[in-house]
Amino acid sequence: MSLDTVATAQANPDASQPFAELGLKPDEYARIKEILGRRPTSSELAMYSVMWSEHCSYKSSKVHLKQFGDKAVKTDALLVGIGENAGVVDVGQGYAVTFKIESHNHPSFIEPYQGAATGVGGIVRDILTMGARPIAVMDPLRFGPADAPDTRRVLPGIVAGVGGYGNCLGLPNIGGEVVFDQTYLGNPLVNALCIGVMKHSDIKLAKAAGAGNLVVLYGAKTGGDGIGGVSVLASETFESKGPAKRPAVQVGDPFVEKVLIECSLEIFAEDLVVGIQDLGGAGLSCATSELASGGSGGMKVQLDKVPLRDPSLSPEEILMSESQERMCAIVEPSKIARFLEICEKWDVTVTVIGEVTDGNHLEITWNGELIVDVPPRTVAHDGPVYNRPLAQPAYIDAV
């Protein structure tokens, strides 16, 4: 399959694209074309589809969740609120705690152990990304009736996944709860919470500021696991000759994450990053677009520089991969040598994949060819928002 570049998209505006298979509605696809002034490339379409998915954009729940910000009591104790990777609260004497809870429901239903384990890994990286040391986890869980066959199928793996990943990181599970109810039959809720501690001066934000600063990817190499995890992306959508389907659930390695935590904390202690973002749902699509959107300019990324553990991955798959234990940092050129030294010390793979620009677009190339040229905020923050009709669930009437 030939590379779908921006130039190709401009020259072939009527090329058929699988937007529906990627979870986009016709009006959403039309909006993307309006934003770009042309049809998207296959890489751009993949980015928008995954970043505008329910998982990443909260397009159905945003109208409700925003009430937490609108109605929140104003307080000086809240140092970082909605919009960043985690909340940060002042606890006195120059210290703060950071915390976040997140669900990993569908992956845990499909593959209970890895779904739950990578839920813990992802929430721990969110806390790390704020500049804090993770110190504890919690896990409120919801299952169908205890005697239901499907509960018996998913519960042992989910509990083992939560415990296995957290134990390998050396993080105590300080609390959890399990509720069994018919409501959750076939739809378990697997929540993971992490708490971290830091000094006020240690807070890090997800922003790509400073033209000329470097975009650095470090941690595990990128593989094919997780593609399709937050949307319906599968490799055959773009390449009919490729594998039938990539694994939709991420595969975690807590020992790699433990090393990544210690490496990152040493980097933070020496004040070597301007901004930082972890890679989880939507992978590089999320990290690059959110960093660029939260910063003061644009970003150029050379996708072919991303270290791979599967050389057969296409550009679309690299952008969508949810491979775990990866971080993306913005580093000043004067500090990159020390950054690389620390990564080498911890035996962490690290690569400079781009730089911050003084423009206002996220540009991604593949072997010198431009395959993505988008306003980053339209990808990361300005997705569709729906006010869905509300109704009382039928099962409540039946009680």
DSSP string, 233-259: --GGGT-TTS-S---SS----HHHHHH
DSSP string, 190-211: EEEEEEEEEEGGG-------ST
* Contact present, 275 and 291 (Cβ < 8 Å): yes
Q: For 303-313, give one letter per residue: b (16+ CB within 10 A) or e.
A: beebebebeeb
Q: What are phi and psi of 35, to 5 degrees?
A: -60, -45
CA contacts within 13 A on the Cβ side of 319? 31
* Contact present, 354 and 217 (Cβ < 8 Å): no
Under DSSP, the state recorded for 334 is: G
CA contacts within 13 A on the Cβ side of 93? 1
Tokens representing 195?
A: 């708490």
* Contact present, 183 and 395 (Cβ < 8 Å): yes
Based on the residue annotation, tell me whether 104 is a catalytic residue of this protein. Answer: yes
**Rounded to an integer, what distance in angstroms lies between the CA atom of residue 84 and that of residue 106?**
24
* Contact present, 252 and 165 (Cβ < 8 Å): yes
Based on the residue annotation, tell me whether 64 is a catalytic residue of this protein. Answer: no
Sign of CA dihedral 298, 326, 201, 101: positive
* Contact present, 117 and 252 (Cβ < 8 Å): yes
Helix, strand or coil, per DSSP, at residue 174: strand
H-only helix segments in the chain: 6-11, 26-36, 42-51, 54-57, 62-71, 105-110, 112-129, 149-169, 254-269, 283-294, 315-320, 336-345, 376-380, 394-398
**Rounded to an integer, what distance in angstroms lies between the CA atom of residue 378 and that of residue 22?**
18
Catalogue the active-site residues: 55, 104
